[in-house]
C-alpha cells in the first residue's frame, strides 16, 4: 500500500498525476497539494471516476518548511514528489528529512530572489571556481547527501526528461554499449507549433531564465562558457526535420561530468525558431526578463512575473500544439577497442499526449519520468540512502518502464554527428 504526496499542480504535475492514476497498483493513494487548492480539486474531480487510485487534496505554501512538515505529518506519505518549482527544493528536502520520508524532484535548486546577498556571495564564488554562471547548480542539494544517508532515506534529483531520462540514457549506454564514452551530445528538439507568436512550453520564469543565460559545456575536465546563443548548429531530427539548435548550459552536464568515467566532452543543444529568439531578445532588451522589482504606478512589480501573467499558461497549450518532440543523446566512444557512435532518443507527439492526458508533449515528457522515478523508488527497484541523480542508478528497469508508460525509445547506430 503506497501513498504519495505530490506538491505542485501545474503542467508537469498534471501529467505525473494522470500517469500515477494509470498505475494504481503502485500509486494506491495520492494527495495533491499546491499553493492554489482549486486546481488540485479540479484535477481530482476529473480523474477520480477513472482510476482506482484514491485522491485527496490540500493547500500548502511549500516555501514554508513548517507548513510542509505539518502536511507530511497529516498525510503520512511513503514518498514526497516535488513538482512545484525549483525554488521549493530545499524547503521540501528539509521537511522530508524532518519527517523521515524519501524525496523526488524534476529540477535542481535555484533561488527565487537572485539578489539575496547571502546567496549571491556563494553564487559568485561558485562562478569563479567552477566556471559556469547559471543560477542553478547541484551544490545546494548535494550538500544534503550526508543527511539523507544518515537518515537512511533516498532523494532522487531531476526525474524529468532532461534532466532525467537523458541521464538514464547515458547510464544505459555505459552499461550495455561502451567500455568508454568519449563524447555526449544531448539534443532537445521541439518541433511543435502552438500558433501563438510567443509562448513558453513550461513555467515562463524558469524557462526564460535558462535560455537567456550564457551557454556552457564540459570539455577536458573543465567548463567552457560562451555568450548566450552564440553556438548554433543545424540537425536533421527523425520525424521532425531540419532544425536550428543552440548550445545551452544544462544541469545534467554537471552530474554527468562527475559520474561518466573519462568522458571528454558533454554538450547540450536545444532547438529554437528565429521568432522565439527575436521575441526573447526584445523582451530582454526592454527589461522584461528582469527579476528585480520595479515601481509601477506606486506598486512594486517584478517584470518577469508580470510577463508570466501576460503569456499563455503552458498548461493551456495542449489543445493547440501540433507536431513532435525528439529528445535524446548521441554517444561516441569505444567498445572492445573499436570506435562506435550511437543515438538514443524518444519521439513524442503533442496531439497524442493531449488525447491521452490533456497536455502537450513538453509537460508529458517531464511528467511521465517523474512518475517512473517514483515507481522505481516505491517498488524498491531504486532503493539507496543518499542523494542521487538518475545516471547513478540501474537504468534497465527505468528503460523498460519508459517503453511501457508512453515514452518508447529508438536507437540509431552511426548517426549523423554534431560538429
Residue 76's CB: how many other CB atoms inside 10 A? 12
Q: Which of 77, 102, 164, 406 binds ligand NDP (CB under 6 A)?
A: 164
Compare residues 199 and 206 and give the one whose CB is closer to ligand NDP.
206
Nearest alpha-carbon partner for 161 in 140, 186, 142, 136: 186
Query: At CB < 8 A and 24+ separation, what contacts does 63-72 make?
Result: 63/87, 63/88, 63/91, 64/91, 65/91, 65/94, 65/95, 65/98, 68/7, 68/92, 68/94, 68/95, 69/95, 69/98, 69/99, 71/5, 71/33, 71/95, 72/5, 72/96, 72/98, 72/99, 72/101
- x/- letters, 105..124, toward ligand NDP (CB under 6 A): -xx-----------------
Main-chain phi, psi angles of 322, to 5 degrees: -120, 155
Compare residues 12 and 257 and give the one whose CB is closer to ligand NDP.
12
Q: Which of 22, 23, 190, 203 binds ligand NDP (CB under 6 A)?
A: 203
Main-chain phi, psi angles of 151, to 5 degrees: -80, -5
CA distances from 348 to 146, 191, 366, 402 (A): 38, 10, 11, 12
Instruction: Give yes or no for residue 278 binding ligand NDP (CB under 6 A).
Output: no
Instruction: Give yes or no for residue 253 binding ligand NDP (CB under 6 A).
Output: no
Residue 411's CB: how many other CB atoms inside 10 A? 13
With CB under 6 A as the contact rule, which of the stretches 156-164, 238-246, 258-266, 331-339 interacts with ligand NDP?
156-164
Q: What is the DSSP letter of 164?
A: B
For the chain, the residue count is 419
Measured from the CB of residue 11, what is the shortest distance to ligand NDP in angstroms?
Answer: 4
Which positions from 384 through 413 interact with ligand NDP, judged by CB under 6 A? none
CB 218 within 8 A of CB 212: no
Measured from the CB of residue 165, what is the shortest distance to ligand NDP in angstroms?
Answer: 8
Measured from the CB of residue 21, what is the shortest distance to ligand NDP in angstroms?
Answer: 17
Compare residues 240 and 390 and give the one whose CB is closer to ligand NDP.
390
Residue 298's CB: how many other CB atoms inside 10 A? 5
Compare residues 21 and 85 and give the one whose CB is closer to ligand NDP.
85
CB 230 within 8 A of CB 245: no
Compare residues 101 and 151 and give the one whose CB is closer to ligand NDP.
101
Which positions from 307 through 336 interact with ligand NDP, judged by CB under 6 A? 314-315
With CB under 6 A as the contact rule, which of the stretches 2-10, 215-223, 241-249, 334-342 interacts with ligand NDP?
2-10
Measured between alpha carbons, how far is 86 from 141 in angstroms, rounded to an integer? 11
Q: How many chain residues touch ligand NDP (CB under 6 A)?
A: 34
Compare residues 132 and 178 and give the one whose CB is closer to ligand NDP.
132
Instruction: Give yes or no for residue 373 binding ligand NDP (CB under 6 A).
Output: no
Residue 393: CA atoms inside 13 Å, Cβ hemisphere, count? Answer: 27
Instruction: Give yes or no for residue 103 binding ligand NDP (CB under 6 A).
Output: no
Instruction: Give yes or no for residue 163 binding ligand NDP (CB under 6 A).
Output: yes
Question: 328 forms bridges with which residues in the sheet?
Answer: 187, 345
Nearest alpha-carbon partner for 315 in 12, 5, 98, 112: 12
Measured from the CB of residue 298, what is the shortest distance to ligand NDP in angstroms?
Answer: 25
Question: 217 forms bridges with which residues in the sheet?
Answer: 224
Grid cell, residue 30, equals 495520492
Compare residues 224 and 288 and give the one whose CB is closer to ligand NDP.
288
Measured between alpha carbons, how far is 74 from 68 in angstroms, rounded to an integer? 10
Q: Which of 160, 386, 406, 415 binds ligand NDP (CB under 6 A)?
A: 160
Grid cell, residue 346, equals 524518444
- x/- letters, 48..67, toward ligand NDP (CB under 6 A): ------------xxxx----
Compare residues 180 and 305 and give the one whose CB is closer to ligand NDP.
305
Compare residues 151 and 170 and give the one whose CB is closer to ligand NDP.
170
Instruction: Give yes or no for residue 9 binding ligand NDP (CB under 6 A).
Output: yes
Question: 268 forms bridges with which residues in the sheet?
Answer: 186
Instruction: Give yes or no for residue 85 binding ligand NDP (CB under 6 A).
Output: yes
Instruction: Give yes or no for residue 372 binding ligand NDP (CB under 6 A).
Output: no
- x/- letters, 10..39, toward ligand NDP (CB under 6 A): xxxx--------------------xxx--x
Measured from the CB of residue 8, what is the shortest distance to ligand NDP in angstroms?
Answer: 3
Binding site for ligand NDP (CB under 6 A): 7-13, 34-36, 39, 60-63, 83-86, 88, 106-107, 158, 160-164, 202-203, 206, 314-315, 366
Amino acid at each position: 500500500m503506497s501513498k504519495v504526496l505530490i506538491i505542485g499542480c501545474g503542467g508537469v504535475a498534471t501529467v505525473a498525476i494522470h500517469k500515477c492514476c494509470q498505475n494504481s497498483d503502485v500509486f494506491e493513494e495520492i494527495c495533491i497539494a499546491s499553493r492554489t487548492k482549486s486546481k488540485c480539486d479540479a484535477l481530482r474531480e476529473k480523474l477520480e471516476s477513472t482510476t482506482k487510485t484514491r485522491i485527496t487534496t490540500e493547500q500548502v505554501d511549500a516555501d514554508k518548511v513548517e507548513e510542509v512538515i505539518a502536511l507530511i505529518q497529516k498525510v503520512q506519505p511513503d514518498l514526497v514528489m516535488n513538482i512545484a518549482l525549483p525554488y521549493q527544493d530545499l524547503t521540501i528536502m528539509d521537511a522530508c528529512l524532518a519527517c523521515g520520508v524519501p524525496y523526488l524532484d524534476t529540477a535542481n535548486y535555484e533561488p527565487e530572489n537572485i539578489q539575496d546577498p547571502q546567496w549571491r556571495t556563494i553564487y559568485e564564488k561558485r562562478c569563479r571556481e567552477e566556471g559556469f554562471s547559471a543560477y542553478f547548480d547541484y551544490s545546494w542539494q548535494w550538500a544534503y547527501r550526508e543527511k539523507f544517508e544518515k537518515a537512511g532515506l533516498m532523494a532522487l534529483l531531476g526525474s524529468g526528461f532532461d534532466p532525467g531520462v537523458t541521464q538514464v540514457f547515458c547510464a544505459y549506454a555505459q552499461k550495455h554499449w561502451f567500455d568508454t564514452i568519449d563524447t555526449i551530445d544531448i539534443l532537445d528538439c521541439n518541433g511543435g507549433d502552438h500558433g501563438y507568436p510567443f509562448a513558453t512550453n513550461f513555467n515562463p520564469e524558469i524557462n526564460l531564465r535558462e535560455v537567456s543565460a550564457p551557454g556552457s559545456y564540459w570539455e577536458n575536465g573543465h567548463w567552457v562558457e560562451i555568450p548566450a546563443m552564440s553556438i548554433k548548429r543545424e540537425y536533421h531530427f527523425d520525424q521532425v526535420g531540419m532544425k536550428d539548435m543552440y548550445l545551452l548550459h544544462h544541469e545534467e552536464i554537471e552530474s554527468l561530468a562527475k559520474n561518466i568515467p573519462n568522458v571528454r566532452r558533454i554538450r547540450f543543444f536545444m532547438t529554437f525558431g528565429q521568432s522565439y529568439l527575436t521575441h526573447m531578445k526584445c523582451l530582454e532588451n526592454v527589461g522584461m526578463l528582469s527579476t528585480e522589482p520595479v515601481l509601477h504606478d506606486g506598486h512594486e512589480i517584478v517584470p518577469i512575473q508580470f510577463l508570466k501573467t501576460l503569456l499563455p499558461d503552458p498548461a493551456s497549450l495542449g489543445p493547440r500544439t501540433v507536431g513532435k518532440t525528439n529528445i535524446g543523446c548521441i554517444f561516441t566512444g569505444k567498445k572492445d577497442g573499436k570506435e562506435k557512435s550511437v543515438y538514443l532518443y524518444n519521439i513524442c507527439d503533442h496531439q497524442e499526449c493531449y488525447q491521452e492526458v490533456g497536455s502537450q508533449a513538453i509537460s508529458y515528457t517531464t511528467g511521465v519520468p517523474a512518475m517512473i522515478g517514483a515507481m522505481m523508488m516505491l517498488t524498491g527497484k531504486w532503493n539507496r540512502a543518499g542523494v542521487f541523480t538518475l545516471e547513478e542508478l540501474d537504468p534497465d528497469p527505468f528503460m523498460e518502464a519508459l517503453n511501457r508508460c508512453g515514452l518508447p525509445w529508438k536507437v540509431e547506430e552511426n548517426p549523423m554527428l554534431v560538429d
